[in-house]
Amino acid sequence: MPGTLTLRIVTPERVVLEQPVEQVTAHAVDGELSILPDHEPLVTPLAIDMLHYKTNKEDEFAAVMGGILEVRNNEVTVLSDVAELDTEIDTARAHLAKERAEAEKTQKTDKMDVYVTEMAVSRAIARLKAVEYRQRKRKHV
């Protein structure tokens, strides 16, 4: 029986999640990485994307808007400005936000503005992705 990891997602506003998990898959700035129990200590920045973790053989998802991932002593800590669990995400709002941001992006010429709207798009996509993956997994069960 392999050990378990403690996954902790902390934002300035609240502790989003703190529970034992079997596996964490995250998107770091330079690619996807999976963390299993007894992983070596690691610190890396995260991209704006979804986070995938397994508890009791169940797949769970969360949307993480950037941040830092730290692995130490079988504890995985994610420090992020904003993070939401798949069950908390407002799909309609994320869809709207995505459409709005994409529409805005076509109107912007300034580099900075384009960057800002691109960030908004990727935040919306991360949320939608987390929800979509969850629904797909639920169908298979």
What's the min distance (Å) between Cβ of 128 and other proteins? 22
Picking from 128, 7, 133, the residue whose alpha carbon sits closest to that of residue 69 is: 7
Q: What is the distance between the alpha carbons of residues 141 and 136, in angstroms, rounded to a whole number? A: 9
Among 41, 57, 109, 110, binds other proteins (CB under 8 A): 41
Q: Which residues make beta-bridge pairs with 72?
A: 75
Work out the number of other CB atoms within 10 angstroms of the CB of residue 7: 24
Picking from 82, 5, 16, 85, the residue whose alpha carbon sits closest to that of residue 52 is: 85
For other proteins, the closer CB: 79 or 85:
79
What's the min distance (Å) between Cβ of 48 and other proteins? 13
What's the min distance (Å) between Cβ of 140 and other proteins? 32
For other proteins, the closer CB: 2 or 12:
12
Determine if 110 is a binding residue for other proteins (CB under 8 A): no
DSSP 8-state symbol, 57 = T
Give me the residues that bind other proteins (CB under 8 A), please: 8, 10-15, 28-30, 40-45, 67-68, 70, 72, 77, 79, 81-82
